Amino acid sequence: MLDFCGEHDITADMEVMPIQKVGGAYERLLNGQVKYRFAIDMASLKAE
């Protein structure tokens, strides 16, 4: 599947956020305000 997507330039849009903003992301999800996938920036775990 990944090879097919690469050959046909199929990509996923995503929004990278720090772990500290996960609560806000969940609220946006519940309110239907999400257009992209969320990805947590794991480096932000060290900032705590």
Give residue-wise pLDDT tens across range 17-34: 999 999 999 999 899 988
pLDDT in tens, 7-19: 999 998 899 999 9
Place of tokens 């097919």: 4
The residues, any chain, with a CB within 8 Å of residue 11's CB and separated by 6 or more, are: 5
CA distance 37 to 33: 11
* % of the chain beyond a pLDDT of 70: 96
Using a 10 angstrom Cβ sphere, with 0-12 exposed, 13-18 middle and 19 or more buried, the burial of residue 42 is exposed
Which pLDDT belongs to residue 37? 87
pLDDT value at 48 more than 60: no
